[in-house]
Amino acid sequence: MRKFIIIILILLCYFVFIDKIKADDSEHQVLKIREGTFAKVMTRDEFSTLTADIGDEVTFINTQDMYVYETNAIPENTIFYGEIEDVREPVEGRDGALKISIYKMITPDKKVYRLSGHIYGENDNYIGGRNTPSIYYHKVPHYNQRLKPMLKAVPLNVYEMGKHTVVKPGAELFVIFEKDIILK
């Protein structure tokens, strides 16, 4: 009976100390966010290809908590800072486009982290830059074996003039991390 009580006391002490060690480790846990991870952000400023210059600073705010395992790695309302890396003016056949790189984030508890990232865009990470429709069409006869010939409208190589791309405040975009980030 005495051995049984001693074993129970040893197990109890073991579990109490292990829980205390795990709690201490979780406070000083180092988190790693892998490259290629997406974070959903919202724009705080309005910027466009009409007014923006290369090097202008833009800010974004994180719209939701981002977890690594069970730990909140990037809390909601974290501010991301970036700069405009490239501006493409609108031309005939293509709208204007912007490329934005992200270099810093500040959490709500004022921790500053340097990072390397960019805003995701469909066109080689440019925001905007879509093709414009053709202005003129040429009518070409289209012959089928069973049907009568039809006229088909084929676009010519003359396109509308592109428009400036405007990103309004509150637009939802994605930040892609280009390098691993270690959060302490």
Q: Could you tell me the pLDDT band of residue 98, with boundaries at 50, 70 and 90?
A: very high
Out of 8-22, 104-118, 140-154, 159-173, least confident range: 8-22
For the chain, the maximum distance between any two Cα atoms, rounded to a whole number of angstroms, is 103
**First-to-final CA distance of the chain:** 48
What average pLDDT does this structure show over 106-111?
92
User: For 9-37, what is the mean pLDDT?
Assistant: 67
* Residues whose CB is less than 8 angstroms from the CB of residue 5 and which lie 6 or more positions away in sequence, other chains included: none
Domain that holds residue 166: 31-132+161-183
Of 163, 108, 154, the C-alpha closest to 134 is 154
Cβ(80)–Cβ(102) under 8 Å? Answer: yes
Q: Is residue 144 part of a domain?
A: no
| Sequence letter at residue 16 | V
Has residue 9 been placed in a domain?
Answer: no
pLDDT digits (tens, 9 = 90+) for 80-96: 999 999 999 999 989 99
| Mean pLDDT along residues 162-172 | 93
> Rounded to whole angstroms, what are the CA distances from 72 to 17, 29, 38, 39, 111?
25, 11, 15, 13, 14
Q: Does residue 169 belong to any structural domain of this protein? A: yes
CATH number of the domain enclosing 114: 2.40.128.260
Q: What is the pTM of this model?
A: 0.75
Q: Judge whether 37 lies within some domain.
A: yes
Residue 23: what pLDDT?
47
Q: How many domains are contained in the chain?
A: 1
> Has residue 142 been placed in a domain?
no
pLDDT of residue 29: 74
| DSSP secondary structure, 63-79, as one string | -S-EEETTEEEE-TTPE
Local structure of 97: helix, strand or coil: strand
Position 79 in a domain: yes
Asked if residue 21 has pLDDT above 70, the reply is no
Would residue 19 count as lying in a domain? no
Tokens 């892609």 -> residue: 176
**Cβ-count burial of 160 within 10 angstroms (0-12 exposed, 13-18 middle, 19+ buried)?**
middle
Closest CA to 45 of 82, 76, 1: 82
Asked whether residue 7 is domain-assigned, the answer is no
